Structure 1
Amino acid sequence: MITPLANILCFGAAHFDRTVQCTEQYVPAASNPVRTLHRKPGGVGRNIAVHLRLLGNNVAMLGAVGDDGDGEHVIAALSQIGIDTRRITKFKDKHTAGYTAVLDETGELALGMMDAEVYDFLSVDLLADQLANLQAWPWWLIDANLPVETIAWLAENKGPSKFCAATVSPSKAARFAPVLDKIDLLITNRAEAKVLTGIDIKEIDQAKTAIAQLRDKGVTDAVITLGAQGVVSSHQDDCAFWQPLPTMVRDVNGAGDAFYSGFLSCFAKPGATMDDAMCQGLAMASLTAETQGTTVWDVTQEAVNLRAQHAYKKPL
């Protein structure tokens, strides 16, 4: 039996990701023969929630699915590992969201298609009657798949809950721009940070400048991930650069979401420091990059702690 260590409510995407690859030369605007490489649950909110739960946290998911088999599967898979799914709404006559990636014959992305219409129904009207229940969760992880109006309403009505923002993509990161002064924790990558700051981040010093701007806009704690280059963090007057951990890379897909899970799993606990959380986030990202797929199903806190010992911080 897993003992709950923190209480985190995750708002956002839970759907299916499908990847197919052309078996012959890709021809635009034509029928192309393909083979399916994988089809698996995905979505930023879902990915973060799953690792949070596997790390022993008390987790709930608030999202939207269609009244179809995919929706049933998404809910069942989350429930099976102990995530509270009572706040996932099933919308009649709607399809569960899904992302389809079409790779050409060389393995490069030829076309990406995202059907996310069902998330537009996560409206203020849907959530307003639940506000007291939502505020009972001390930590909110909110991904940018929610409508702009809903994000703004949640920011204004978070009460004592901590508002943690996951930017999802450059196109959706802008949904957090009007509420930066309400965000307690922002973890973003360089492309998404550019949308919020206007700074083209290529070097560590540029990341530091972008973080300073985010802090000036009201973000309490900010982290910018730079891929293989490392991570820059800011907490109070402390700004630091963190090197990536030694990793035998197999699949980097999902490593960013895993970083958020490891960080928040630690940060949400009483007495945790920013440095503790950074070490845990880097460890989860490293372990995930060594795993085929987006989830380390056999992750243990012991394994995370062991990997986290190799984290290195350089004050900026």
Structure 2
Amino acid sequence: MITPSANILCFGAAHFDRTLQCTEHFVPAASNPVRTLHRKPGGVGRNIAVHLRLLGNNVAMLGAVGDDGDGEQVIAALSDIGIDTRRMMKLEGKHTAGYTAVLDETGELALGMMDAEVYDLLTIDRLKAQLPNLQAWPWWLIDANLPTETIQWLAANKGSTKMCAATVSPSKSARFKPVLGQLDVLIANRAEAHVLTGIEINELPQAKIAIELLRGKGIPEVVITLGAKGVVSSSNSGTAFWHPLPTKLRDVNGAGDAFYSGFLSAFSKPDTDIDDAVASGLAMASLTAETDGTTVWNLSQDAVATRAAQAEKTPL
């Protein structure tokens, strides 16, 4: 079944992730011989935008890269699959962001390094002139790699555009605290929800209190993801727990970002309620967890719909 395409503008991170593994015992503060396991595109905004595009939506990406080879490759890879990259900024004299993970000889993370300084340059001054064009997009997906001041400015100037917040990480999720009442959709994991509410979530009753507190801030649609334990959603139609879908687990990397894509792809369509959107999000997360890497390149709407049909909820 082919559903109508939506128009979604994604703001945030687009870079390369690199994973290296020590070939001998890891020694801190020393030169360690390594082998490269992979180098692949990453970034929350990028991951969400790619799956949204593969689901048939009209997607644009606004972010920042350096004037280097990595930046050119990031933009080209997005453009090659039909994502509008005209709002991607190539900043002179800057380096494209990147995450590097160094694994020890056993495969455990020994060191993680994130260079994200270029995203701090996504300032209000750089976006002001584009505002009329940005407001022409019915939906914004904004990840928390943007500076707090820029997020606040966007929230205050979104006009009729609906704004979905991608919280990224516990530390960065705090950037949405000043604008909770201006969001249309918030999706966060339990650690990020803890930062936003002060409630530590270990069991469903705590998740229910936290999600209803967030709804009380004025957010119409809120989802808290609980990893392998499922999802809690809350809207005007009530609060519910969603059971995890049966999944042949291969690689959980990217599953959280995939939930955003599935949810927003469905929810941005006319006459779609939060139940259909959560089911679609769970389906995308499940399909991604069954795939090596963060992207399901052979994705089809039929595959998502078939998996989503298995979703079950229990009112809380």
Q: TM-score, normalised by structure 2?
A: 0.98
What's the secondary structure of 2:65's corresponding residue? strand
In 2: Cα distance, 1:175 partner to 1:239 partner: 25
Give the drift of 1:8: 0.2
Letter in 1 for 2:283: A
Match of 2:108 in 1: 108
Distance in 2 (alpha carbons) for counterparts of 1:195 and 1:95: 30
| Code of the aligned partner of 2:66 | G
Is the 1:12–1:46 contact (alpha carbons within 8 Å) kept by the matching residues of 2?
A: yes
CA contact (8 A) 1:4 1:58 kept: no
Residues 167 and 192, structure 1, Cα contact 8 Å, conserved in 2: yes
Q: Is 1:150–2:150 an aligned residue pair? A: yes
Distance 2:220 2:95 in 1: 37
- Number of matched pairs: 315
1:195 aligns with 2:191: no
What's the offset of the Cα at 1:119? 0.6
Q: Aligned equivalents of 2:192 and 2:3: distance in 1?
A: 35
Distance 1:161 1:142 in 2: 12
Report deviation, 1:105.
1.1
The amino acid of 1:194's aligned partner reads H
Q: CA deviation at 1:164?
A: 0.4
Please give the alpha-carbon distance, in whole angstroms, between the structure 2 residues aligned to 1:217 and 1:276: 24
* Aligned residue number for residue 240 of structure 1: 240
CA displacement at 1:4 relative to structure 2: 6.3
Matched AA of 2:55: L
Instruction: In structure 2, give the amino acid aligned to 1:186.
Output: L
Q: Residue 15 of structure 1 contacts residue 96 of structure 1 at CA under 8 Å; is this kept in 2?
A: yes
In structure 2, the CA distance between the partners of 1:92 and 1:3, relative to structure 1 (3 Å rule), is: farther
**Which position in structure 1 is the counterpart of 2:37?**
37
Q: Distance in 2 between matches of 1:3 and 1:291?
A: 24
After superposition, the CA RMSD in angstroms is: 1.0
State how far apart, in whole Å, the 2-side matches of 1:227 and 1:311 are: 15
Q: Do residues 178 (structure 1) and 178 (structure 2) align? A: yes
Give, in angstroms, the shift of residue 237 of structure 1: 4.3
Structure 1 residue 107 displacement after superposition = 1.0
The question of whether the paired residues in 2 share the 8 Å contact of 1:20 and 1:35 is answered with yes
1:297 maps onto 2:303 in alignment: no
Deviation at 1:309, TM superposition (A): 1.1
Deviates more, 1:230-239 or 1:48-57: 230-239
User: Does structure 1 residue 25 correspond to structure 2 residue 25?
Assistant: yes
Q: How does 1:1-316 map to 2 (within 5 A)?
A: 5-316=5-316
**SS in structure 1 at match of 2:212:** helix
Amino acid at match of 1:92: E
Instruction: Indicate conservation of the 8 Å contact 2:215/2:235, yes or no.
Output: no
Residue identity in the other structure for 2:98: G
- SS state of the match for residue 40, structure 2? strand
- The Cα shift of 1:35 comes to 0.9
Gaps of 5+ in 1: none
Letter in 2 for 1:271: D
Asked if 2 retains the 8 angstrom alpha-carbon contact of 1:187 and 1:224, the reply is yes
5+ unaligned residues in a row in structure 2: which ranges?
Answer: none
Retained in 1: the 8 A contact 2:62–2:85? yes
Output the amino acid matched with 1:35.
Answer: R
| Kept after mapping to 2: 8 A contact 1:11/1:63 | yes
Deviations 1:75-111 (A, max 9, x none): 0000000000000000000000000011111111111
Q: Report the residue type matching 1:297 in the other structure.
A: W
